[in-house]
A and B are shown apart, each in its own frame.
Chain A
Protein backbone atom coordinates (compact mmCIF):
# COMPACT_ATOMS: atom_id res chain seq x y z
CA UNK A 1 0.00 0.00 0.00
CA UNK A 2 2.81 2.39 0.89
CA UNK A 3 4.10 2.25 -2.67
CA UNK A 4 0.73 3.51 -3.87
CA UNK A 5 0.96 6.61 -1.72
CA UNK A 6 4.49 7.49 -2.73
CA UNK A 7 5.17 10.24 -5.26
CA UNK A 8 4.48 9.05 -8.83
CA UNK A 9 7.46 7.54 -10.63
CA UNK A 10 9.31 9.41 -13.32
CA UNK A 11 7.47 7.50 -16.04
CA UNK A 12 4.11 8.46 -14.60
CA UNK A 13 5.27 12.07 -14.32
CA UNK A 14 6.39 12.07 -17.95
CA UNK A 15 3.10 10.55 -19.03
CA UNK A 16 1.14 13.20 -17.17
CA UNK A 17 3.25 16.00 -18.61
CA UNK A 18 2.89 14.56 -22.13
CA UNK A 19 -0.89 14.34 -21.73
CA UNK A 20 -1.14 17.91 -20.45
CA UNK A 21 0.98 19.18 -23.34
CA UNK A 22 -1.24 17.40 -25.84
CA UNK A 23 -4.37 18.93 -24.35
CA UNK A 24 -2.70 22.36 -24.18
CA UNK A 25 -1.62 22.18 -27.83
CA UNK A 26 -5.11 21.06 -28.81
CA UNK A 27 -6.71 23.96 -26.95
CA UNK A 28 -4.25 26.45 -28.47
CA UNK A 29 -4.73 25.11 -32.00
CA UNK A 30 -8.52 25.31 -31.91
CA UNK A 31 -8.37 28.90 -30.67
CA UNK A 32 -5.51 30.00 -32.89
CA UNK A 33 -6.98 28.61 -36.08
CA UNK A 34 -10.56 29.28 -35.01
CA UNK A 35 -11.55 25.72 -35.89
CA UNK A 36 -15.30 25.13 -36.06
CA UNK A 37 -16.66 22.77 -33.39
CA UNK A 38 -17.62 20.08 -35.93
CA UNK A 39 -13.99 19.80 -37.00
CA UNK A 40 -12.42 19.96 -33.55
CA UNK A 41 -13.96 21.59 -30.49
CA UNK A 42 -11.62 23.10 -27.86
CA UNK A 43 -10.80 20.96 -24.85
CA UNK A 44 -12.35 23.53 -22.54
CA UNK A 45 -15.61 23.25 -24.44
CA UNK A 46 -15.58 19.46 -24.15
CA UNK A 47 -14.87 19.59 -20.42
CA UNK A 48 -17.65 22.12 -20.00
CA UNK A 49 -20.03 19.82 -21.86
CA UNK A 50 -19.01 16.87 -19.67
CA UNK A 51 -19.72 18.84 -16.51
CA UNK A 52 -22.99 20.16 -17.88
CA UNK A 53 -24.30 16.78 -19.03
CA UNK A 54 -22.67 14.74 -16.29
CA UNK A 55 -25.82 12.94 -15.19
CA UNK A 56 -26.57 11.55 -18.65
CA UNK A 57 -22.95 10.77 -19.40
CA UNK A 58 -22.47 9.03 -16.08
CA UNK A 59 -25.53 6.88 -16.67
CA UNK A 60 -24.26 5.99 -20.16
CA UNK A 61 -20.78 5.24 -18.80
CA UNK A 62 -22.26 2.98 -16.12
CA UNK A 63 -24.29 1.18 -18.76
CA UNK A 64 -21.27 0.58 -21.00
CA UNK A 65 -18.97 -0.27 -18.11
CA UNK A 66 -21.32 -2.92 -16.76
CA UNK A 67 -21.65 -4.55 -20.17
CA UNK A 68 -17.88 -4.52 -20.58
CA UNK A 69 -17.22 -5.80 -17.05
CA UNK A 70 -19.70 -8.67 -17.18
CA UNK A 71 -18.47 -9.67 -20.62
CA UNK A 72 -14.88 -9.36 -19.46
CA UNK A 73 -15.45 -11.57 -16.44
CA UNK A 74 -17.21 -14.22 -18.50
CA UNK A 75 -14.53 -14.00 -21.19
CA UNK A 76 -11.67 -14.42 -18.70
CA UNK A 77 -13.34 -17.39 -17.00
CA UNK A 78 -14.08 -19.09 -20.33
CA UNK A 79 -10.61 -18.37 -21.73
CA UNK A 80 -8.72 -19.63 -18.69
CA UNK A 81 -11.07 -22.58 -18.24
CA UNK A 82 -10.74 -23.73 -21.84
CA UNK A 83 -6.96 -23.45 -21.78
CA UNK A 84 -6.85 -25.50 -18.57
CA UNK A 85 -9.08 -28.15 -20.11
CA UNK A 86 -6.80 -28.37 -23.14
CA UNK A 87 -3.80 -28.67 -20.82
CA UNK A 88 -5.45 -31.68 -19.20
CA UNK A 89 -6.78 -33.20 -22.44
CA UNK A 90 -4.43 -31.98 -25.15
CA UNK A 91 -5.72 -34.14 -28.00
CA UNK A 92 -8.16 -31.68 -29.67
CA UNK A 93 -5.82 -28.78 -29.05
CA UNK A 94 -4.59 -28.08 -32.55
CA UNK A 95 -8.01 -28.31 -34.18
CA UNK A 96 -9.52 -26.15 -31.48
CA UNK A 97 -6.88 -23.42 -31.62
CA UNK A 98 -7.03 -23.06 -35.40
CA UNK A 99 -10.83 -22.93 -35.30
CA UNK A 100 -10.80 -20.28 -32.59
CA UNK A 101 -8.19 -18.26 -34.50
CA UNK A 102 -10.26 -18.40 -37.68
CA UNK A 103 -13.43 -17.24 -35.93
CA UNK A 104 -11.55 -14.54 -34.06
CA UNK A 105 -10.13 -13.09 -37.26
CA UNK A 106 -13.62 -11.93 -38.29
CA UNK A 107 -13.97 -8.28 -37.25
CA UNK A 108 -16.55 -7.57 -34.53
CA UNK A 109 -18.44 -5.26 -36.83
CA UNK A 110 -18.91 -8.20 -39.16
CA UNK A 111 -20.76 -10.44 -36.78
CA UNK A 112 -22.23 -7.79 -34.46
CA UNK A 113 -25.51 -7.63 -36.46
CA UNK A 114 -25.87 -11.38 -35.92
CA UNK A 115 -25.31 -10.95 -32.19
CA UNK A 116 -27.98 -8.24 -32.15
CA UNK A 117 -30.30 -10.63 -33.96
CA UNK A 118 -29.60 -13.53 -31.58
CA UNK A 119 -29.28 -11.69 -28.27
CA UNK A 120 -31.45 -8.62 -28.86
CA UNK A 121 -30.74 -4.91 -28.73
CA UNK A 122 -30.26 -4.94 -24.92
CA UNK A 123 -27.08 -5.54 -22.98
CA UNK A 124 -26.92 -9.28 -23.68
CA UNK A 125 -25.59 -8.79 -27.22
CA UNK A 126 -22.82 -6.49 -25.97
CA UNK A 127 -21.89 -8.87 -23.19
CA UNK A 128 -21.69 -11.71 -25.71
CA UNK A 129 -19.47 -9.72 -28.09
CA UNK A 130 -17.11 -8.65 -25.28
CA UNK A 131 -17.00 -12.13 -23.73
CA UNK A 132 -16.18 -13.66 -27.08
CA UNK A 133 -13.32 -11.30 -27.90
CA UNK A 134 -11.86 -11.35 -24.38
CA UNK A 135 -12.07 -15.11 -24.07
CA UNK A 136 -9.98 -15.53 -27.21
CA UNK A 137 -7.15 -13.26 -26.05
CA UNK A 138 -7.13 -14.72 -22.55
CA UNK A 139 -7.37 -18.26 -23.93
CA UNK A 140 -4.35 -17.80 -26.18
CA UNK A 141 -2.24 -16.11 -23.52
CA UNK A 142 -3.17 -18.71 -20.90
CA UNK A 143 -2.34 -21.52 -23.29
CA UNK A 144 1.10 -20.14 -24.07
CA UNK A 145 1.61 -19.42 -20.38
CA UNK A 146 0.83 -23.04 -19.50
CA UNK A 147 3.28 -24.16 -22.20
CA UNK A 148 6.10 -22.19 -20.62
CA UNK A 149 6.38 -24.69 -17.81
CA UNK A 150 9.85 -26.16 -17.24
CA UNK A 151 9.79 -29.83 -18.21
CA UNK A 152 12.24 -30.60 -15.41
CA UNK A 153 9.85 -29.09 -12.88
CA UNK A 154 7.08 -31.30 -14.28
CA UNK A 155 9.40 -34.30 -13.88
CA UNK A 156 10.09 -33.29 -10.31
CA UNK A 157 6.36 -33.15 -9.59
CA UNK A 158 5.86 -36.52 -11.27
CA UNK A 159 8.63 -38.01 -9.16
CA UNK A 160 6.66 -36.90 -6.11
CA UNK A 161 3.78 -38.93 -7.48
CA UNK A 162 1.78 -35.87 -8.59
CA UNK A 163 -1.02 -36.35 -11.13
CA UNK A 164 -2.03 -34.09 -13.99
CA UNK A 165 -4.45 -31.98 -11.96
CA UNK A 166 -1.95 -31.45 -9.17
CA UNK A 167 0.74 -30.44 -11.67
CA UNK A 168 -1.67 -28.07 -13.40
CA UNK A 169 -2.73 -26.46 -10.15
CA UNK A 170 0.57 -26.29 -8.29
CA UNK A 171 2.97 -25.71 -11.16
CA UNK A 172 1.45 -24.80 -14.52
CA UNK A 173 -1.09 -22.21 -13.43
CA UNK A 174 1.36 -20.21 -11.29
CA UNK A 175 3.90 -20.43 -14.12
CA UNK A 176 1.29 -19.11 -16.54
CA UNK A 177 0.09 -16.35 -14.23
CA UNK A 178 2.29 -13.55 -15.66
CA UNK A 179 1.06 -14.25 -19.18
CA UNK A 180 -2.56 -14.71 -18.09
CA UNK A 181 -2.39 -11.38 -16.31
CA UNK A 182 -0.84 -9.69 -19.35
CA UNK A 183 -3.62 -11.05 -21.56
CA UNK A 184 -6.21 -9.85 -19.08
CA UNK A 185 -4.65 -6.41 -18.96
CA UNK A 186 -4.64 -6.03 -22.74
CA UNK A 187 -8.24 -7.23 -22.87
CA UNK A 188 -9.51 -4.44 -20.62
CA UNK A 189 -9.30 -1.77 -23.31
CA UNK A 190 -10.57 -4.15 -25.95
CA UNK A 191 -13.65 -4.93 -23.87
CA UNK A 192 -14.65 -1.26 -23.60
CA UNK A 193 -14.05 -0.66 -27.33
CA UNK A 194 -16.15 -3.63 -28.34
CA UNK A 195 -19.00 -2.70 -26.00
CA UNK A 196 -19.07 0.80 -27.56
CA UNK A 197 -18.85 -0.41 -31.14
CA UNK A 198 -21.71 -2.85 -30.71
CA UNK A 199 -23.76 -0.16 -28.96
CA UNK A 200 -23.33 2.07 -31.99
CA UNK A 201 -24.92 -0.61 -34.12
CA UNK A 202 -27.98 -0.84 -31.94
CA UNK A 203 -28.65 -0.26 -28.24
CA UNK A 204 -30.95 1.29 -25.65
CA UNK A 205 -28.16 3.16 -23.85
CA UNK A 206 -24.43 3.42 -23.24
CA UNK A 207 -21.63 5.61 -24.53
CA UNK A 208 -21.72 4.11 -28.02
CA UNK A 209 -25.38 4.89 -28.23
CA UNK A 210 -24.74 8.45 -27.01
CA UNK A 211 -22.09 8.92 -29.67
CA UNK A 212 -24.37 7.57 -32.38
CA UNK A 213 -27.22 9.86 -31.33
CA UNK A 214 -24.91 12.87 -31.14
CA UNK A 215 -23.57 12.24 -34.63
CA UNK A 216 -27.10 12.07 -35.94
CA UNK A 217 -27.83 15.44 -34.28
CA UNK A 218 -24.52 16.92 -35.50
CA UNK A 219 -23.57 17.61 -31.86
CA UNK A 220 -19.84 17.04 -32.05
CA UNK A 221 -19.08 18.41 -28.62
CA UNK A 222 -21.29 15.64 -27.26
CA UNK A 223 -19.39 13.07 -29.37
CA UNK A 224 -16.13 14.27 -27.90
CA UNK A 225 -17.52 14.36 -24.39
CA UNK A 226 -18.54 10.71 -24.71
CA UNK A 227 -15.13 9.81 -26.17
CA UNK A 228 -13.38 11.48 -23.24
CA UNK A 229 -15.50 9.60 -20.74
CA UNK A 230 -14.92 6.32 -22.59
CA UNK A 231 -11.18 6.76 -22.59
CA UNK A 232 -11.28 7.67 -18.90
CA UNK A 233 -13.03 4.42 -17.98
CA UNK A 234 -10.69 2.45 -20.27
CA UNK A 235 -7.66 3.92 -18.53
CA UNK A 236 -9.15 3.28 -15.11
CA UNK A 237 -9.99 -0.33 -15.96
CA UNK A 238 -6.57 -0.93 -17.52
CA UNK A 239 -4.75 0.44 -14.50
CA UNK A 240 -6.88 -1.43 -11.97
CA UNK A 241 -6.07 -4.73 -13.65
CA UNK A 242 -2.44 -3.62 -13.98
CA UNK A 243 -2.36 -2.97 -10.25
CA UNK A 244 -3.89 -6.35 -9.47
CA UNK A 245 -1.30 -7.97 -11.76
CA UNK A 246 1.52 -6.17 -10.00
CA UNK A 247 0.22 -7.38 -6.62
CA UNK A 248 -0.37 -10.93 -7.78
CA UNK A 249 2.76 -11.59 -9.84
CA UNK A 250 4.98 -10.26 -7.08
CA UNK A 251 7.94 -12.52 -7.78
CA UNK A 252 8.86 -11.06 -11.16
Chain B
Protein backbone atom coordinates (compact mmCIF):
# COMPACT_ATOMS: atom_id res chain seq x y z
CA UNK B 1 0.00 0.00 0.00
CA UNK B 2 2.70 2.37 1.03
CA UNK B 3 4.73 1.34 -1.97
CA UNK B 4 1.77 2.02 -4.21
CA UNK B 5 1.42 5.51 -2.88
CA UNK B 6 5.08 6.00 -3.48
CA UNK B 7 4.62 4.82 -7.05
CA UNK B 8 1.73 7.09 -7.81
CA UNK B 9 3.81 9.82 -6.24
CA UNK B 10 6.48 9.34 -8.87
CA UNK B 11 3.76 9.22 -11.51
CA UNK B 12 2.65 12.72 -10.66
CA UNK B 13 6.30 13.77 -11.02
CA UNK B 14 6.78 12.33 -14.48
CA UNK B 15 10.33 11.87 -15.60
CA UNK B 16 9.90 11.23 -19.32
CA UNK B 17 11.66 14.22 -20.81
CA UNK B 18 9.90 15.95 -23.68
CA UNK B 19 12.75 18.39 -24.20
CA UNK B 20 16.45 18.09 -23.50
CA UNK B 21 19.31 20.46 -24.21
CA UNK B 22 22.91 19.34 -23.81
CA UNK B 23 26.11 21.30 -24.39
CA UNK B 24 24.15 24.00 -26.11
CA UNK B 25 26.12 27.09 -27.07
CA UNK B 26 24.97 30.10 -29.02
CA UNK B 27 27.16 32.96 -30.14
CA UNK B 28 26.23 36.05 -32.11
CA UNK B 29 29.45 37.44 -33.51
CA UNK B 30 31.58 38.19 -30.47
CA UNK B 31 28.73 37.81 -28.00
CA UNK B 32 28.12 34.47 -26.33
CA UNK B 33 24.46 34.31 -25.39
CA UNK B 34 24.43 30.73 -24.09
CA UNK B 35 27.39 28.65 -22.92
CA UNK B 36 27.29 24.97 -22.21
CA UNK B 37 23.60 25.06 -21.45
CA UNK B 38 22.00 21.90 -20.05
CA UNK B 39 18.36 21.46 -19.23
CA UNK B 40 15.54 19.02 -19.50
CA UNK B 41 11.81 19.38 -19.20
CA UNK B 42 9.56 16.47 -18.29
CA UNK B 43 6.22 15.75 -19.89
CA UNK B 44 3.44 17.72 -18.18
CA UNK B 45 5.88 19.75 -16.12
CA UNK B 46 5.59 23.49 -15.48
CA UNK B 47 9.12 24.89 -15.52
CA UNK B 48 9.83 28.55 -14.90
CA UNK B 49 13.05 30.29 -15.93
CA UNK B 50 14.41 33.37 -14.16
CA UNK B 51 17.62 35.27 -14.65
CA UNK B 52 19.11 38.73 -14.96
CA UNK B 53 18.30 40.90 -17.99
CA UNK B 54 20.16 39.92 -21.11
CA UNK B 55 21.09 36.47 -19.82
CA UNK B 56 20.03 34.69 -22.97
CA UNK B 57 16.56 33.60 -21.91
CA UNK B 58 15.04 34.79 -25.14
CA UNK B 59 17.79 33.13 -27.15
CA UNK B 60 16.96 29.90 -25.35
CA UNK B 61 13.29 30.32 -26.24
CA UNK B 62 13.92 31.21 -29.85
CA UNK B 63 15.97 28.05 -30.12
CA UNK B 64 13.30 25.83 -28.62
CA UNK B 65 10.67 27.53 -30.80
CA UNK B 66 12.78 26.53 -33.81
CA UNK B 67 13.70 30.06 -34.85
CA UNK B 68 17.44 29.78 -34.20
CA UNK B 69 19.89 26.90 -34.45
CA UNK B 70 22.34 26.25 -31.62
CA UNK B 71 26.05 26.38 -32.46
CA UNK B 72 27.53 23.20 -33.90
CA UNK B 73 27.97 20.49 -31.27
CA UNK B 74 24.93 21.33 -29.19
CA UNK B 75 22.38 18.59 -28.72
CA UNK B 76 18.69 19.27 -28.89
CA UNK B 77 16.30 16.42 -28.16
CA UNK B 78 12.56 16.66 -28.53
CA UNK B 79 10.19 13.80 -27.68
CA UNK B 80 13.22 11.55 -27.17
CA UNK B 81 14.67 12.27 -30.60
CA UNK B 82 17.64 14.34 -31.68
CA UNK B 83 16.43 17.26 -33.74
CA UNK B 84 17.57 20.42 -35.47
CA UNK B 85 16.00 23.54 -34.06
CA UNK B 86 14.25 24.13 -37.39
CA UNK B 87 12.48 20.76 -37.00
CA UNK B 88 10.68 22.31 -34.06
CA UNK B 89 8.94 24.93 -36.23
CA UNK B 90 5.27 24.12 -36.08
CA UNK B 91 5.75 21.61 -33.24
CA UNK B 92 6.00 23.86 -30.20
CA UNK B 93 3.44 26.50 -29.31
CA UNK B 94 5.25 29.72 -28.69
CA UNK B 95 4.02 32.93 -27.15
CA UNK B 96 6.43 35.84 -27.51
CA UNK B 97 6.78 38.70 -25.04
CA UNK B 98 4.52 41.13 -26.85
CA UNK B 99 1.01 39.98 -27.68
CA UNK B 100 1.57 40.66 -31.41
CA UNK B 101 -2.14 40.57 -32.15
CA UNK B 102 -3.04 41.45 -35.73
CA UNK B 103 -4.92 44.74 -35.59
CA UNK B 104 -6.97 43.90 -38.69
CA UNK B 105 -8.32 40.71 -37.18
CA UNK B 106 -11.08 40.38 -34.60
CA UNK B 107 -10.48 38.60 -31.30
CA UNK B 108 -11.80 35.34 -32.67
CA UNK B 109 -9.79 35.56 -35.89
CA UNK B 110 -6.62 36.37 -33.96
CA UNK B 111 -7.22 33.36 -31.78
CA UNK B 112 -7.55 30.98 -34.73
CA UNK B 113 -4.45 32.24 -36.55
CA UNK B 114 -2.42 29.10 -35.91
CA UNK B 115 -5.33 26.83 -36.80
CA UNK B 116 -5.74 28.71 -40.05
CA UNK B 117 -2.07 28.28 -40.85
CA UNK B 118 -2.50 24.56 -40.21
CA UNK B 119 -5.30 24.49 -42.76
CA UNK B 120 -8.29 24.04 -40.47
CA UNK B 121 -11.34 25.53 -42.25
CA UNK B 122 -12.20 28.93 -40.81
CA UNK B 123 -15.69 27.96 -39.83
CA UNK B 124 -14.61 24.96 -37.77
CA UNK B 125 -11.74 26.91 -36.21
CA UNK B 126 -14.02 29.77 -35.23
CA UNK B 127 -16.54 27.38 -33.68
CA UNK B 128 -13.78 25.81 -31.61
CA UNK B 129 -12.45 29.19 -30.48
CA UNK B 130 -15.94 30.44 -29.64
CA UNK B 131 -16.39 27.59 -27.17
CA UNK B 132 -13.14 28.59 -25.43
CA UNK B 133 -13.92 32.31 -25.12
CA UNK B 134 -15.60 32.15 -21.69
CA UNK B 135 -12.72 30.15 -20.21
CA UNK B 136 -10.35 32.90 -21.34
CA UNK B 137 -12.59 35.64 -19.95
CA UNK B 138 -13.42 36.90 -23.39
CA UNK B 139 -17.08 35.93 -23.68
CA UNK B 140 -18.91 38.49 -25.79
CA UNK B 141 -15.71 39.93 -27.23
CA UNK B 142 -15.42 37.66 -30.28
CA UNK B 143 -15.98 40.48 -32.76
CA UNK B 144 -13.94 43.16 -31.04
CA UNK B 145 -10.69 44.41 -32.50
CA UNK B 146 -7.46 44.45 -30.48
CA UNK B 147 -7.42 48.25 -30.12
CA UNK B 148 -10.72 47.99 -28.27
CA UNK B 149 -9.29 45.71 -25.57
CA UNK B 150 -7.42 46.27 -22.30
CA UNK B 151 -3.86 45.00 -21.85
CA UNK B 152 -5.00 42.00 -19.82
CA UNK B 153 -7.56 41.01 -22.43
CA UNK B 154 -5.08 41.35 -25.28
CA UNK B 155 -2.75 39.06 -23.36
CA UNK B 156 -5.52 36.52 -22.91
CA UNK B 157 -6.28 36.58 -26.63
CA UNK B 158 -2.58 35.92 -27.28
CA UNK B 159 -2.64 33.07 -24.77
CA UNK B 160 -5.73 31.65 -26.38
CA UNK B 161 -4.00 31.77 -29.77
CA UNK B 162 -1.11 29.83 -28.22
CA UNK B 163 -3.46 27.33 -26.55
CA UNK B 164 -5.39 26.69 -29.74
CA UNK B 165 -2.14 25.70 -31.42
CA UNK B 166 -2.36 22.37 -29.67
CA UNK B 167 1.17 21.23 -29.06
CA UNK B 168 2.43 19.31 -26.06
CA UNK B 169 5.09 21.91 -25.23
CA UNK B 170 4.18 25.55 -24.67
CA UNK B 171 6.74 28.34 -24.45
CA UNK B 172 5.58 31.48 -22.69
CA UNK B 173 8.03 34.38 -22.76
CA UNK B 174 7.13 36.81 -19.94
CA UNK B 175 3.49 36.74 -20.92
CA UNK B 176 2.43 38.92 -17.99
CA UNK B 177 5.46 41.22 -17.94
CA UNK B 178 3.58 44.25 -19.19
CA UNK B 179 0.57 43.94 -16.89
CA UNK B 180 -0.13 45.77 -13.66
CA UNK B 181 0.31 43.84 -10.42
CA UNK B 182 -3.39 43.11 -9.84
CA UNK B 183 -4.14 41.90 -13.34
CA UNK B 184 -0.95 39.95 -13.22
CA UNK B 185 -1.92 38.07 -10.06
CA UNK B 186 -5.30 37.26 -11.56
CA UNK B 187 -3.74 36.04 -14.77
CA UNK B 188 -1.33 33.79 -12.85
CA UNK B 189 -4.13 32.07 -10.97
CA UNK B 190 -6.10 31.78 -14.13
CA UNK B 191 -3.15 30.27 -16.01
CA UNK B 192 -2.66 27.65 -13.29
CA UNK B 193 -6.32 26.84 -13.53
CA UNK B 194 -6.17 26.40 -17.30
CA UNK B 195 -2.95 24.41 -17.04
CA UNK B 196 -4.42 22.07 -14.44
CA UNK B 197 -7.36 21.37 -16.74
CA UNK B 198 -5.32 20.86 -19.91
CA UNK B 199 -2.11 19.52 -18.42
CA UNK B 200 0.36 20.54 -21.06
CA UNK B 201 4.06 21.05 -20.59
CA UNK B 202 4.94 24.67 -20.00
CA UNK B 203 8.27 26.45 -20.14
CA UNK B 204 7.75 29.94 -18.76
CA UNK B 205 10.21 32.85 -18.71
CA UNK B 206 9.80 35.57 -16.10
CA UNK B 207 11.67 38.33 -14.30
CA UNK B 208 9.58 37.92 -11.22
CA UNK B 209 10.75 35.42 -8.58
CA UNK B 210 7.36 35.25 -6.86
CA UNK B 211 5.75 34.43 -10.17
CA UNK B 212 8.37 31.77 -10.90
CA UNK B 213 7.75 30.00 -7.58
CA UNK B 214 3.99 30.44 -7.55
CA UNK B 215 3.58 28.88 -10.99
CA UNK B 216 6.39 26.37 -11.35
CA UNK B 217 7.05 22.75 -10.45
CA UNK B 218 10.67 23.68 -10.87
CA UNK B 219 12.52 26.98 -11.17
CA UNK B 220 15.62 27.27 -13.32
CA UNK B 221 17.87 30.21 -12.45
CA UNK B 222 20.15 31.34 -15.24
CA UNK B 223 23.55 32.95 -14.85
CA UNK B 224 24.47 36.34 -16.26
CA UNK B 225 25.60 36.24 -19.87
CA UNK B 226 26.81 33.91 -21.19
CA UNK B 227 23.70 32.14 -19.99
CA UNK B 228 24.01 28.78 -18.26
CA UNK B 229 22.02 27.08 -15.53
CA UNK B 230 22.99 28.52 -12.17
CA UNK B 231 20.53 26.63 -10.04
CA UNK B 232 17.56 24.31 -10.37
CA UNK B 233 15.08 24.44 -7.55
CA UNK B 234 12.15 22.05 -7.10
CA UNK B 235 8.99 23.73 -5.83
CA UNK B 236 7.17 21.14 -3.77
CA UNK B 237 4.29 23.37 -2.78
CA UNK B 238 0.94 21.61 -2.96
CA UNK B 239 -1.41 22.26 -5.83
CA UNK B 240 -3.85 23.86 -6.38
CA UNK B 241 -1.98 26.83 -4.98
CA UNK B 242 -3.90 29.63 -3.37
CA UNK B 243 -2.68 33.24 -3.54
CA UNK B 244 -1.76 33.35 0.15
CA UNK B 245 0.81 30.62 -0.39
CA UNK B 246 3.33 33.38 -1.08
CA UNK B 247 3.44 34.14 2.64
CA UNK B 248 3.95 30.51 3.74
CA UNK B 249 7.34 29.60 5.29
CA UNK B 250 8.06 26.98 2.61
CA UNK B 251 7.53 29.60 -0.13
CA UNK B 252 9.71 32.14 1.62
CA UNK B 253 12.44 29.57 2.13
CA UNK B 254 12.54 28.83 -1.61
CA UNK B 255 12.40 32.50 -2.41
CA UNK B 256 15.38 33.19 -0.16
CA UNK B 257 17.49 30.57 -1.95
CA UNK B 258 16.50 31.86 -5.38
CA UNK B 259 16.98 35.51 -4.54
CA UNK B 260 20.47 34.84 -3.25
CA UNK B 261 21.40 33.11 -6.51
CA UNK B 262 19.80 35.79 -8.67
CA UNK B 263 21.35 38.59 -6.63
CA UNK B 264 24.79 37.18 -7.23
CA UNK B 265 24.20 36.96 -10.97
CA UNK B 266 22.58 40.36 -11.20
CA UNK B 267 25.63 41.89 -9.54
CA UNK B 268 27.85 40.16 -12.04
CA UNK B 269 25.89 41.36 -15.00
CA UNK B 270 25.62 44.81 -13.47
CA UNK B 271 29.34 45.24 -12.97
CA UNK B 272 30.05 43.76 -16.38
CA UNK B 273 27.36 45.87 -17.93
CA UNK B 274 28.04 47.78 -21.06
CA UNK B 275 25.33 50.08 -22.28
CA UNK B 276 24.19 47.47 -24.81
CA UNK B 277 23.19 45.06 -22.10
CA UNK B 278 20.45 47.36 -20.93
CA UNK B 279 18.65 46.98 -24.23
CA UNK B 280 16.57 44.03 -23.04
Binding site for B on A (CB under 8 A): 150, 152-153, 155-162, 166, 170-171, 174, 177, 250-251
The reply to whether A170 and B96 contact each other, CB–CB distance below 8 Å, is no
Q: Is the CB of A166 within 8 A of B117?
A: yes
**Taking the complex as formed, is B41 at the interface, i.e. its CB lies under 8 A from any CB of chain A?**
no
Whether A170 touches B66, Cβ cut-off 8 Å, given contacts A159-B89, A161-B89, is no
**What is the CA–CA distance of A161 and B117 in the complex, to the nearest angstrom?**
7
B213 interfacial contact with A, CB 8 Å: no
A-contact 0/1 string along B100-135, CB 8 Å cutoff: 101110000000011011100000000000000000
- B165 contacts A by Cβ under 8 Å: yes
Contact of A160 among B102, B103, B113 (CB under 8 A): B113
* Contact pick for B113, options A150, A155, A170, CB 8 Å: A170
Taking the complex as formed, is B141 at the interface, i.e. its CB lies under 8 A from any CB of chain A?
A: no
Q: Using CB atoms and an 8 Å cutoff, list the residues of chain B in contact with chain A.
A: 62, 65-67, 89-94, 96, 98, 100, 102-104, 113-114, 116-118, 145, 147, 165
- 10 smallest CB-CB distances across A and B, nearest first, come from A161-B90, A159-B94, A160-B114, A251-B103, A162-B117, A160-B117, A174-B104, A159-B65, A153-B100, A155-B67
Name the residue of chain B whose CB is nearest to the CB of A167.
B117
Shortest CB–CB separation between residue B233 and chain A, in angstroms? 28
Q: Enumerate chain B residues within 8 angstroms of A150, measured Cβ to Cβ.
A: 100
A224 to B96: give the CA distance in the assembly, Å: 60
Q: Measured between alpha carbons, how far is A170 from B103 in the docked complex, in Å?
A: 12
Which residues of chain A are near B116, meaning CB under 8 Å?
Answer: 170
Shortest C-beta distance, B119 to chain A (Å), equals 10
> How far is it, in angstroms, between the C-alpha of A166 and the C-alpha of B89 when the chains are bound?
14
Instruction: Tell me if A156 and B90 are in contact (CB < 8 A).
Output: no
